[in-house]
Amino acid sequence: MIELEGEIQPVGELFQSPDANAAREFFRHKSRAMVDKRMSVPEAVARFIHDGDYIATGGFGSVRFSTAVLHEIVRTRKRNLGFSGHSTTHDFQILAAGRVIDRCDIAYVVGLEIRGLSPNGRRFMESGTVRTTEWSNAGLGWRYKAAAMGVPFLPARVMLGSDTLRYSAGRLIEDPFTGQKLLAVPALYPDVGIIHVHQADIFGNAQIDGTSIVDLDLAKASKRLIITTERIVETEEFRRDPRKTSIPYWQVDAVCHVPFGSYPGNMPFEYFSDERHLAEWVEVEQDEARFAAFLEHYIYGVNNFETYLALAAGEQRLAELRSLEILKRV
Amino acid sequence: MVTADARYSLMELMICAAARQLEDNQTAVIGTGAPLAAAMLAQKTTAPNLVILFEAGAMATILERLPISVSGSETQTRALVHGSMLEVMEACQRGLVDYTFLGGAQIDMYGNLNSTMIGSDYRHPKVRLPGSGGANDLASLCWKTMATMHHDVRRFVPRVDFITSPGYLTGPGAREAAGLPPDTGPYKVISTLGVMGFDPLTKRMQVESLHPGVTREDIAAATGFEMLFAAALEVTPEPTDVQLDILRTQVDPQGMILGKPERRKAG
């Protein structure tokens, strides 16, 4: 495919190589062994996330993201991570709190939907310490899909004509069949994907209920994949009804059992978001000293996610959040 | 937000005006905030068969509770499909989605929207905003794009600092030249002062109706570019008692968008 001549091409930085052959070589050597991959969140983060890695989180906004892994990344003070921010809200807020990223593909960061903007996220992104490249949600999603398909790019009809395009790292190309102008979005192979699911077996077969957002493609695109799960179930659950297998075990490197693992976010069919705690985050971010104390209290000063859960919510509040959830299992 | 009639607030007027634009048996991808309240109101009144899609993957949802997030459990109640973001975006790209409803920090006379940054240098923004999210995709691919905006000169600007989501870009033919699907583009802007459409020839924004008590001069003074006015200028219909009741008791009883009941009375 030849780039269109006479067009002003985007100027954004491409953080990860879209080379499908290099990815094939990586996946060639990825273990297919059906072995017990259960481990603690600290062990998974220590083994699979290294300074400088490019990471991507599943879920969307305040829904079904892996709080436990994100807190551990901040608590262990990882450095110079790259991050794919497709419609991230509280997950981005946590990473921005720890100042752990130095480059970011942006579709949606800093914003908290109806809850406003993150003051600390803004300060961080306005500080000049994070290199950024712009995308749209679909543009970034199709980058995962290209990687999932094992091709170096996909053509798309979004971002055209906009400054989102100008500051992206896509390329304008000509459709060889009709001559139309298209955007090529480069495959995105994250070093590490992090996805929270409803249930998984010990090998990593995993089930997502409700909308899957872009997680099925993200799971395929990620070189290494950490799954946190509300429940551990028998493999027979999947053998009996393969429709439940959202993510097959051979894509998964770590299975961490973390009940309420998306707290303070919403886990469809399980529990609703803790709007009181999320509002407290936004409020306390306005003052840097108070926010530092807040982070010490909830992340740096505790040993694990379970302690944070007890401090921030407690059993009674968690039960309330279960009753506030509107999607019920039939 | 004071209105000429203490019976309703400006937000309620805007939500009802927005709901009126959504037709029955059409498809719409709806963004967070006031547009969601409008879609839920439409589904409970004039458009019971409105097919509401959410960019996180829920399709044909029957809304029971006003969603906080466009991905949350409330967007998935009684849906026909719990799908993926790309399935929804690909439906838009195939030409299957009629409406979308967006917001932004800035808009210009061609309906270009900015939700990325305020400032003159992308690398050194004065204010960093969220970015496109799904807005660019929806504004590129849906047949008719609508936006709700607070109407003042800081938001209705001659030139947006960053075109996050394409309107008519630089004017007639520009979208097609950029490679965007033909016959798509901005359709309505519902602001705190009026309802705007776009002149078919020049693709420039023009006022179609003034909210009750608002004058042409009010809009001209609150707009940073030369606003056009339709020949047959109307007054935006006021919310009916039935609409207000449904809005307050069924759509947003908690006042997430409408504000708290005590504030509403004062407004």
pLDDT band at B6, cuts 50/70/90? confident
With CA atoms as reference, report the closest residue to A138 among A87, A90, A97, A204.
A87
Cβ separation B129–A213 shorter than 8 A:
no
Any B CB within 8 A of A158 CB: yes
| Rounded CA separation A196/B162 (Å) | 34
Above 80 in pLDDT, residue B261?
no
| Rounded CA separation A111/A92 (Å) | 9
Cβ separation B84–A216 shorter than 8 A:
yes
Any A CB within 8 A of B192 CB: no
CA atoms within 13 A on the CB side of A100: 25
Average pLDDT of every residue of chain A: 97
Please give the pLDDT value at position B239: 97
In contact, A41 and B47? CB cutoff 8 Å: no
DSSP-assigned beta bridge partners for residue B101: B30, B146
pLDDT band at B267, cuts 50/70/90? very low
Cβ separation B124–A181 shorter than 8 A:
no
Surface of A (209-238) touching B: CB under 8 A: 209-217
Average pLDDT score over residue span B91-107: 96
Above 70 in pLDDT, residue A258?
yes
Any A CB within 8 A of B56 CB: yes
B55 a catalytic residue:
yes
Give chain A positions within 8 Å (CB) of B52. Answer: none
Cβ separation A108–B93 shorter than 8 A:
no
Cβ separation A138–B129 shorter than 8 A:
no
> Residues B207-245: pLDDT tens digits?
999 999 999 999 999 999 999 999 999 999 999 999 999
Above 80 in pLDDT, residue B2?
no
Cβ separation A128–B136 shorter than 8 A:
no
> Residues B61-90: pLDDT tens digits?
999 999 999 999 999 999 999 999 999 999
Please give the pLDDT value at position B244: 97
- CB nearest B179 (choices: A107, A108, A182): A182
CA atoms within 13 A on the CB side of B187: 19
pLDDT band at B174, cuts 50/70/90? very high
Above 80 in pLDDT, residue A228?
yes
Average pLDDT score over residue span B153-159: 98
Average pLDDT score over residue span A291-308: 98
Query: Which residue's structure tokens are 């305020």?
Result: B118
| Rounded CA separation A157/A176 (Å) | 15
Its pTM surpasses 0.95: yes
Cβ pairs bridging A and B (under 8 Å): 214
How many other C-beta atoms lie within 10 A of the C-beta of residue A25?
Answer: 10
Phi and psi at residue B239, to the nearest 5°: -60, 145
Average pLDDT of every residue of chain B: 95
What is the DSSP pairing of strand A171-174 with strand A181-186?
antiparallel
> Residues A111-120: pLDDT tens digits?
999 899 999 9
Q: How far is A90 from chain B (nearest CA, A)?
A: 12
Predicted-assembly ipTM surpassing the 0.90 threshold: yes
- High-pLDDT (> 90) share of chain A, %: 95
Above 80 in pLDDT, residue B264?
no
Any B CB within 8 A of A126 CB: yes
Average pLDDT score over residue span B165-190: 98
Above 70 in pLDDT, residue A103?
yes
- CB nearest A137 (choices: B127, B133, B163): B133
> Residues A32-75: pLDDT tens digits?
999 999 999 999 999 999 999 999 999 998 999 999 999 999 99
Q: How far is B250 from chain A (nearest CA, A)?
A: 15
User: Please, what sign has the CA dihedral across residues B60, A218, A181, B197?
Assistant: positive
> Residues B33-69: pLDDT tens digits?
899 999 999 999 999 999 999 999 999 999 999 999 9
Please give the pLDDT value at position A2: 63
Any A CB within 8 A of B105 CB: no
Above 60 in pLDDT, residue A171?
yes
Cβ separation B136–A164 shorter than 8 A:
yes
Any A CB within 8 A of B203 CB: no
Please give the pLDDT value at position A73: 98
Look at residue A301 and give its three-state secondary structure.
coil
Above 60 in pLDDT, residue B4?
no
What the block records as the tokens of B66 is 């006003």
pLDDT band at A7, cuts 50/70/90? confident
Q: How far is B267 from chain A (nearest CA, A)?
A: 21
Please give the pLDDT value at position B33: 87
Any B CB within 8 A of A60 CB: yes
User: Please, what sign has the CA dihedral across residues B257, B258, B262, B266?
Assistant: positive
Which residue does chain A place closest to B77, by CA atoms? A327
How many other C-beta atoms lie within 10 A of the C-beta of residue B136?
Answer: 34
Above 90 in pLDDT, residue B265?
no
Interface test with B, best of A160, A162, A178 (most B CBs within 10 A): A162
| Rounded CA separation A158/A311 (Å) | 44
Cβ separation A162–B82 shorter than 8 A:
no
Any A CB within 8 A of B94 CB: no
Look at residue A46 and give its three-state secondary structure.
helix
What the block records as the tokens of B189 is 């802007």
Surface of B (221-260) touching A: CB under 8 A: 256-257
Q: Which of B12, B55, B74, B208 is catalytic?
A: B55
pLDDT band at A330, cuts 50/70/90? confident
Which residue does chain B place closest to A275, by CA atoms? B68
Interface test with A, best of B32, B59, B69, B115 (most A CBs within 10 A): B69
Please give the pLDDT value at position B31: 87
Any B CB within 8 A of A46 CB: no
